[in-house]
Amino acid sequence: MDLNLSDEQRLLRESAERFVAESYDADHRRKMANDPLGFSPAVWTQFAELGWLALPIPEQFDGLGGGAVEIGILMEAFGRGLVSEPYVATVVLGAALIDRCGSTAQKQASLPKIADGSLKLALAHSERAARFDLAKVATAANKTAQGWRLAGSKIAVLDGHAADEIIVSAHIHDHRGPSGRIGLFLVPATAPGLSISDYPRLGGGRACNIELPDVHLPEDALLGDGKDALPAIEWAVDRAMAALGAEAVGIMQMLLETTLEYTKIRKQFGRPLSANQVIRHRLADMAMQVDEARSMALRAPLCPPRPAWPHRRIGLNRKERIMDLSFNAEERAFQDEVRGFIAKNLTEEMKRATALTPSVFSDPDIGMAWQRALHRQGWGAPGWPVEYGGPDWTPAQRWIFETESARAGVPNVNVMGVKMVGPVIIGFGSPEQKNFYLPRILSGEDYWCQGYSEPGSGSDLSSLKTRAVRDGDHYIINGTKIWTTHAHHANRMFALVRTSDGPRQQDGISFILIDMKTPGITTRPILTIGGDHEVNQVFFDDVRVPMANRVGEEGKGWTYGKYLLEFERGSGIASAKLREGLKAIADLAESDLTGRAIDSPDIATRISEVEVDIDALEMTELRVLSALQTGQNPGAVSSILKLRNSEIRQAVTRLGADVIGHDALAVEPMRPLYKLNHEPAIPEDMLTVVPEYLNGRAYTIFGGTSEIQRDIIAKMMLGI
């Protein structure tokens, strides 16, 4: 599984974007809008010459044998240019149905003509009385001595006015009456009795309604052998929806770029609109939505067939919505290995403790026991290079591991060592630091906390005041850090401290590794609103730290800190745990404990909406993992991941509080919940719901506030 484009796919994207940019200017689009045909036959011929019409057609029928990803690449470029040519109707729907349902003779007669541009098709399936069910087809095909007689009507036929032949769906009637099968019939656009009334289509191009009061066709007009064509129709519609999704991404990207340029030239109160933070954040949200849509367009070909109608049933059919990543034999074997490892090492105590931990990380006695088991297996640091103890996993293996771990409910290991300070030491540390710290991180011998935020420096971290002054071969550190997760458990801290002053606040910051047992360090607990002791304030009073504990150059800590944050926000797979969290809430909603809250249309719809958001996040994470595999940094996409993870997690926990209803009033002050020595007021399955909801309010603050993430997106992705 590799989500990076191949060289051939990149060339296709570049040629499509170049062609669209050169051929589809505003004048051309205005001309097509007023043209009765709605598109340019000359451009269609160019499509054929470029091989685009042949793209998904099998090679034995003069095609190129491309797939859904290649179609998506083209459609995104078409969206950016608002291309109105009948590509979806002819190639994505028409050619696909003939290839899937047609006889060899029908394929030989039609597919080469589609590839060379001489045959255009349309699919006529929708009917006014059956808009929401593809199986409801009133149009009838009656068997006659000479062939077939069609009677019925169709609506919203995409580009039907321009088609040479129309593929019409109809219920087959033989001499015994209705057969219960849907057939597909090739109907010439000039067939006697066929009438077409076309109209402008929203967004460009045209569509039409078709009347077939008495249309007679030969025997071979029926595609294939007359087997039920409904599965093929559903498959083709899914294929077309995926293509239209990719086209929508291109349209969104074009609108974003157009809006962005306008905000740069349009002035208000003497400044460009793009200088207004509110405008920048809205543009950042637009950029994030485009990126999520791109992830979903890429995901569509990897998903199983259409979810059941209506929308609210997406959440009720969770088992049908698992993405098909087409694992090879080696990846399936690895999946079995992961499941076997978890079954052997995950104790019931660990599993129950994890399920009853409402805070971000498991307590060290649980979390580090799991880390030590991972280390023994060689899996202690999935994102590290193999020379430093990483397992050298592919993106597919990483996804498998994270997903199986989430499904099994493994402990939430403190990531401060493995995912945060570890990559910084690998990237910028001295050989001595690598040799000393990295093995101890892997084994769990060292337990780390992060010293970043201060009482006066949270989102504005570059204004931090904790100072380190040189004294011989030591630094003397004075100041305080706050919201320090698990500082009361940690034996080491990585911290940003000020070692000098300069014109830019960022230039005087250094990255220091601190032994928490050093004299002068005091840790004061902070209880969160959910009742957990997870964070602390740490005070430094003349704390002596060897200069050898500085990572990299003095004054370059800001660079290293940003590098760390990119990996913190962009190297994990949060979607797997979010999905399991949502599953737990959905299971509660379906249980008698909540009076079957799932029967509420509001609850069911919200479950569906959150699941779609998780789908988008998961695909973005997979894209980032594939990029990391080739040596790229997450960059600004890491801010999108952090922002969406935070917002979705809050949506899940908010949904949980609504699902349990009156039971959300109960408070259990004892911690840890898995060591309670009394009977709680509510069922155990509900114990963490409210604490998770309350603690979740901080997700859009810690690790970089959502507002700061939007600033980063605006700056790094949009250049404003």
CB 454 within 8 A of CB 466: yes
Please, what is the Cα angle at 413 between 440 and 546, to 5 degrees? 35
| Rounded Cα gap, residues 224 and 132, in angstroms | 26
pLDDT the model gives residue 309: 34
Query: What pLDDT does 314 receive?
Result: 39
Q: Per residue in 356-378, pLDDT tens?
A: 999 989 999 999 999 999 999 99
Is the CB of residue 549 less than 8 Å from the CB of residue 492?
A: no
- Sort strands 165-174 and 140-143 into parallel, antiparallel or unpaired: parallel
Write down how long the chain is. 720
Antiparallel, parallel or unpaired: β 550-551 and 509-515: antiparallel
The DSSP annotation for 249-287 comes to: HHHHHHHHHHHHHHHHH-EETTEEGGGSHHHHHHHHHHH
Among residues 76, 165, 404, 568, the one annotated as catalytic is: 568
pLDDT in tens, 534-555: 999 999 999 999 999 999 999 9
**Mean pLDDT for all residues in the chain:** 91
Say whether pTM exceeds 0.85: no
Could you give the CA distance from residue 367 to residue 105 in angstroms, rounded to a whole number? 64
Q: 146: buried, middle or exposed (CB in 10 Å: 19+, 13-18, 0-12)?
A: exposed
Residue with token string 């805070």:
359
Confidence band for 261, pLDDT divided at 50, 70 and 90: very high
Residue in 176, 126, 166, 168 with CA at minimum distance from that of residue 151: 168
Q: What are the start-end ranges of the E strands in 144-285?
A: 147-158, 165-174, 177-188, 195-200, 206-218, 267-268, 271-272
Span 235-263, mean pLDDT?
94
pLDDT of residue 695: 93
Q: Using CA of residue 11, residue 14, residue 16, residue 22, what is the dihedral sign?
A: negative
* Interatomic CA distance for residues 138 and 150, integer angstroms: 11
568 is catalytic: yes
Asked if residues 673 and 357 have their Cβ atoms less than 8 Å apart, the reply is: yes
Inter-CA distances, 645 with 420, 535, 659, 696, 717, Å = 17, 20, 21, 11, 19
CA distance 321 to 13: 29
pLDDT top residue among 458 and 646: 646
For the chain, the maximum distance between any two Cα atoms, rounded to a whole number of angstroms, is 104
Residue 304's pLDDT is 53
| Distance from C-alpha of 720 to C-alpha of 711, rounded to nearest angstrom | 9
pLDDT digits (tens, 9 = 90+) for 647-669: 999 999 999 999 999 999 998 99
Choice among 376-380, 414-418, 452-456 with the minimum mean pLDDT: 414-418
User: pLDDT tens, 280-328?
Assistant: 999 999 999 999 999 999 888 776 554 433 333 334 344 444 455 567 8
For 471, list phi and psi in degrees, rounded to 5.
Answer: -145, 90
Is the peptide bond prior to 305 cis by the omega test (within 30 degrees of 0)? no
Q: What is the pLDDT of residues 18-28, one digit of tens each?
A: 999 999 888 88
Weakest mean pLDDT among 53-57, 130-134, 480-484, 689-693: 130-134
Question: What pLDDT score was predicted for residue 460?
Answer: 82
Spatial separation of the C-alpha atoms in residues 380 and 358, rounded to whole Å? 24
- Are 497 and 553 in contact, with CB atoms under 8 Å apart? no
- DSSP annotation of 209 reads E
As a whole number, mean pLDDT of residues 631-644 equals 80
What is the β-pairing status of strands 550-551 and 533-546? unpaired
CA distance 216 to 698: 68
CB atoms < 10 A from the CB of 431, how many? 7
Tokens 């300070």 belong to residue: 421
Which is nearest to 206 in space by CA: 89, 375, 49? 89
d(CA 406, CA 418): 18
Query: Residue 452: helix, strand or coil by DSSP?
Result: coil
How far is the C-alpha of 89 from the C-alpha of 425, rounded, in Å? Answer: 55
SS3 118: coil
Report the 10 Å Cβ neighbour count for 707.
Answer: 15
Instruction: Report the pLDDT averaged over residues 209-221.
Output: 95
Rounded-to-integer distance, Cα 494 and Cα 510, Å: 10
Of residues 204, 116, 128, 212, the one with CA closest to residue 159: 204
**Nearest alpha-carbon partner for 382 in 576, 572, 639:** 572
Range in 107-121, 404-418, 556-570, 615-629 the model is least confident about: 556-570
